[in-house]
Amino acid sequence: MLSLDPLGPEWDCPLGSKDLEEEEGPWGGGSGLPPPDCFPGSWRHDVGLDCKGSLEGAEARAWTVYYYSLLQSCLQQAGLPETQDRSQVPRTGCPGAEVTLCVLGSPSTFLSVLLEGGVQSPGNMLLCLSPTWLTKVPAPGQPGEAVLLVSKAVSFHPGGLTFLDDFVPPRRATYFLAGLGLGPGRGREAAELARDLTCPTGASAELARLLEDRLLTRRLLAQHGGAAVPATLAFTYKPPALLRGGEASPGLRLVELSGKEDQQTLVKEEVGAFLHSGALADALQVAVKLSGWRWRGRQAMRVYPRVELGTVVDTVLALLEKLEEEESVLVEAVCPPARLPFPGSAPPGPELAVRICAVVCRTQGDRPLLSKVVCSVGREDRPLRHQSSLPQTLEVALARCGLGETGQVAVVRRRVKAAAEAALAAVLALEAGLSAEQRGGRRARTDFLGVDFALTVEGRALTPVALELNSGLCLEACGALEGLWAAQRPRSAAEDAAAAPLVETMLRRSAHCLMEGKQLLLIGAGGVSKKFVWEAARDYGLKLHLVESDPNHFASQLVQTFIHFDVTEHRRDEENARLLAELVRARGLQLDGCFSYWDDCLVLTALLCRELGLPCSPPAAMRLAKQKSCTQLHLLRCHGPPWPAPSLHAVPCCPLETEADVEKAVHQVPLPGVMKLEFGAGAVGVRLVEDAPQCHEHFSRIARDLQGEADHPGIGLGWGHAMLLMEFIEGTEHDVDLVLFGGRLLAAFVSDNGPTRLPGFTETAACMPTGLAPEQEAQLVQAAFRCCLGCGLLDGVFNVELKLTGAGPKLIEINPRMGGFYLRDWILELYGVDLLLTAAMVACGLRPALPARPRARGHLVGVMCLVSQHLQVLSSTASRETLQALHDQGLLRLNWLEEVLVPGEYEEPYCSVACAGSSLAEARLRLLGLCQGLGIDGPHYPVAHFLSHFK
């Protein structure tokens, strides 16, 4: 006998002798006083649970005290300290400028989310123990929508530290997640608070009502495939619109009733046909249960042998009398538990059954991701219910049933992952077709889902069968499993919390909320590689005002305001900054921030921010980072303390403006060396030089060929064509993309580069995340961070190029803007972090809403295509149309970097072609095969060699 409903009273139905009145608790819609105190503990009870300006009745107050004690008990059992009451000294904060993740619900249900939020966004994850701690106020300029304000909450911090805080003025929620219900009591209050908010919400009563209707979700899963469901016969009375019509679903028979009475003949015929149908396969039992929101959380199921037709019919008829509109009675196959070890004979004694509980979260791009799997094991002849059995890992649960072979366990895990992610994908597809009213608000989405599975056998294969979807029960089970270990040892990096992807989604949606409608001045539109900016700005609701030299730039039609201004003459940046500031004031632009991602315009942007009083790193720091020799020479003088000092990472070099400088430099810098433009970008003009004649020759060639902006637009020639000679450093090359705010490192993303085609240094290949050992990765991140701080770069998104040598990381150069080429796209794809939005947040003086430990969701390996090497294949087997079609099919990841196929001596990559994989090796092999098939690989462009570092 299998039951997945929460604990409740025994239900004796055929004659309907006992009404179903038990609920999960107040957040599920129940009312009355809380359960008796069952939380023995020594914590303080004289804490300030009253919220100033709000009144609670005796019953509501009792629930608030109950949930506070429940929180303390959860913390105690996890080995975490008691909540400290600091409500007597209110937090002031910066209302409207802070990430505020607000949870209203049972502490035991959401503990995993709360603790993980305290790690990823310290002090910004708030638990409200009473609806009176929250207030809705009408949103200015947004009719029908409201702002949610938090006056009191328990805040969560790293190490499980918690504080009871008052907020004066109240904090504005940027994300809201609540336990919901439609009945009287707190569930209804939570539902009202969640409806039609301006901030994102991870649930709503409207969505919860859909998801917890077993018939609707069963049909949804059956129609979309990917998740097996039990064979089901459903009798429904006046079904909701979403269940009317549509195509028949495999294994699901829906019978619409015109009334609830006089249905004996129809019911007997349908039940008889169902019990004798092949859809039930090997099932020996059927379950009869009610479906609909009203029955949520109630122990409403009865199991009968398949042969007892009369009893099943009587039970269905008795339940039909209880139905209201849009409710159903289900008769479904009870999946026979898998006999383990499999295959083979079962051990003597009662058969064991396994229930699998999976939490799956919505991630970047609305893609589902399995977060954690928890199991329960019990006797086949006894119910397996949430909260009635100890949570176990999948490996332990299957081993207890006799299946310990690693490969078979891995197969089960893969099938659970595929089915759970397919379930959330089906839900997201359903939501995409709903109106804002049907969802409970413009910002309402389902961000996580619990999926309950029974493990059975289909066609001699162990198969997880999805029984139902829930919101909090699976999350609570996963949190309970994590809690079993919390007091014993700290969680390792490989043991992510079930709520980790959910908290990342909460932060990402909070960032969108904070930035919607922000007015930003953008200096320089960039080229084809930056086309993503305009679509992203529209999606995020940013209001862009563009300053650009080209009056015909396509982006001039995509912004709120276009200011045509020549920004290419950088010797006049000081004067131009003053002129631009006057233009901004004359147009009456009310700006929240100003930024640039274009190398040429970084110093001008810093100067303009200073004129307008907008946040930015100091102009002096931008100048220092922009001029490569100044960067290295300055850092060589930064000996510390603190240690290790930036000087450890700097490389000897000499600036070159004349032939005489070249002659002096070859005696000061060890050769071989690297010559490059002081203000260059894209590795244009960079060359390995092995002796003095080569140095003089290359200097003369650059002085002749690259004299001004017109000779090669966009690589910094508006600053002049001065060069530098620096020592050539042996080692592997890496990019580190950093996010700094107030001089603090918030995030870092490391990628590896393949060997270049010497004597040039144009990039050939890359992979992300890095394949380096964690210690080496940390060395690179800290070196990049120290070099930025050493130059005075305190706020922004920066790209730092380094080489990892036997003596540690050595600096190539700092690009004081977000990484170019494919980097923004790859980081967004793998980590769900958008460097464009992050840079915009910093420009507005907002601390970016970023996860503390971004985790890659896979691996990407890519190669560059060059016109000089691939002109023929780019015009045939790897044409623009072919590559785009492969990208659209998901077979490769494509980033266009140039628009026209024009070969030249000083070239930049034309495009980047990458493949994804669950491992570095898988992605690498896919890419190599693709390049061989398309003709990108060849004797003069050996892709296998360029990928040789990525092993």
CA–CA distance, 924 with 948 (Å, rounded to integer): 9
Lowest mean pLDDT among 117-126, 339-348, 378-387, 617-626: 339-348
Give per-residue pLDDT as tens, 830-886. Answer: 999 999 999 999 999 999 989 878 889 999 999 999 998 999 999 999 999 999 999
Whether residue 132 contacts residue 203, with contact meaning beta carbons closer than 8 Å, is answered with no
Burial of 496 (0-12, 13-18, 19+ CB in 10 A): middle
* 390 touches 396 (CB < 8 A): no
Instruction: Please report, for the chain, the start and end positions of each structural domain, with discontinuous segments joined by +.
Output: 58-199, 231-333, 352-509, 517-613, 858-950
Higher pLDDT, 279 or 510: 510
Distance (Å, whole) CA 442 – CA 513: 12
* Residue 524 · residue 598 · CB < 8 Å: yes
Q: Which residues of 780-797 are buried (b: 16+ CB within 10 A; e: fewer)?
A: bbbbbbbbbbbbbbbbbb
Q: What is the pLDDT of residue 654?
A: 94
Say if strands 252-257 and 232-237 run parallel, antiparallel, or are unpaired. parallel
Highest mean pLDDT among 239-253, 283-297, 348-362, 754-768: 754-768
Between the CA atoms of 685, 686, 692 and 696, what dihedral angle is there, to the nearest 10 degrees?
A: 10
Positive or negative, the CA dihedral 793, 794, 795, 799 is: positive
Quick one: DSSP state of residue 892? Answer: S
**For residue 488, is pLDDT > 90?**
no
Confidence of residue 15 (pLDDT cuts 50, 70, 90): very low
Question: Are the beta carbons of 391 and 477 closer than 8 angstroms?
Answer: yes
Indicate the DSSP class of residue 201. B
What pLDDT is stored for residue 688 in this prediction?
Answer: 93
What is the amino acid identity at position 852? A
Instruction: Determine the pLDDT at residue 37.
Output: 64
Q: Residue 494 — very low, low, confident or very high, per pLDDT cuts 50/70/90?
A: very low
State the pLDDT confidence band at 341, using cuts at 50, 70 and 90.
low
Confidence label for 383 from pLDDT (cuts 50, 70 and 90): low
The pLDDT of residue 376 is 84
Q: What pLDDT sits at residue 38?
A: 64
Confidence band of 370 (pLDDT split at 50, 70, 90): very high
Mean pLDDT of 310-335: 90
Q: Can you tell me the mean pLDDT for 755-778?
A: 93
CATH code for residues 858-950: 3.30.1370
HSE at residue 916, side-chain half, CA atoms within 13 A, is 17
| Averaged pLDDT, 356-382 | 87
Instruction: Give me the helix-helix angle, 602-612 and 619-626, nearest 10°.
Output: 180
**In this predicted structure, what is the pLDDT of residue 26?**
40
Q: Tell the CATH topology of 517-613.
A: Rossmann fold (3.40.50)
Q: Is the model's pLDDT at 647 over the cut of 70?
A: yes
Asked if the model's pLDDT at residue 16 lies above 60, the reply is no
pLDDT, residue 56, reads: 77
Q: Helices 500-515 & 107-120, crossing angle to 10 degrees?
A: 70
Backbone angles phi, psi at 231, to 5 degrees: -60, 135
Q: Which of 199-203, 394-398, 439-443, 611-615 has the lowest mean pLDDT?
A: 394-398
pLDDT at 495: 58
Strands (DSSP E) along 90-160, which ranges? 101-104, 125-128, 134-138, 146-157
d(CA 40, CA 884): 63
The region of weakest confidence among 118-127, 151-160, 493-502 is 493-502
Query: In whole numbers, what is the pLDDT of the chain averaged over residues?
Result: 87
Residue 760 scores a pLDDT above 50: yes
pLDDT at residue 481, rounded to an integer: 84
Q: How many CB atoms lie within 10 A of CB 919?
A: 10
In terms of pLDDT, which residue wins out, 221 or 608? 608
What does the pLDDT look like over 455-474, one tens digit per residue? 888 777 888 999 888 878 88
Query: Under 8 Å CB-to-CB from 643, ≥6 apart: which residues?
Result: none
Mean pLDDT of 634-660: 91
Which pair of tokens denotes residue 816?
A: 């004081």
The pLDDT of residue 9 is 31
Lowest mean pLDDT among 7-16, 443-452, 578-587, 724-733: 7-16
**pLDDT tens digits for 199-253?**
999 989 889 888 888 888 888 888 887 888 999 999 988 888 887 776 667 788 9
Residue whose C-alpha is closest to residue 635's, from 568, 552, 726: 726
What stretch of H or E contains 775?
helix 774-791
Confidence of residue 326 (pLDDT cuts 50, 70, 90): confident
Map residue 258 onto helix, strand or coil. Answer: coil
User: Which pLDDT band holds residue 492 (cuts at 50, 70, 90)?
Assistant: very low
d(CA 458, CA 439): 36
Q: What is the pLDDT of residues 530-556, one digit of tens each?
A: 889 999 999 999 999 999 999 999 999
The pLDDT, as a whole number, for residue 782 is 97
The C-alpha atoms of residue 623 and residue 357 are separated, in whole angstroms, by 55
Q: Would you place residue 300 in the very low, low, confident or very high pLDDT band (cuts 50, 70, 90)?
A: low
Tell me the C-alpha to C-alpha distance, in Å, between residue 267 and each of 235, 274, 291, 320, 381: 8, 10, 17, 10, 28
Please check whether the domain covering 352-509 is classified as CATH 3.30.470.
yes
Residue 18 pLDDT > 50: no
pLDDT at 4: 35
Strands 519-523 and 461-470: unpaired
pLDDT: which is higher, 951 or 675: 675
| Interval 522-532: pLDDT, tens | 999 988 888 89
Distance of CA 90 to the CA centre of its chain: 32
**Tokens (6 digits) for 923:** 């992605």
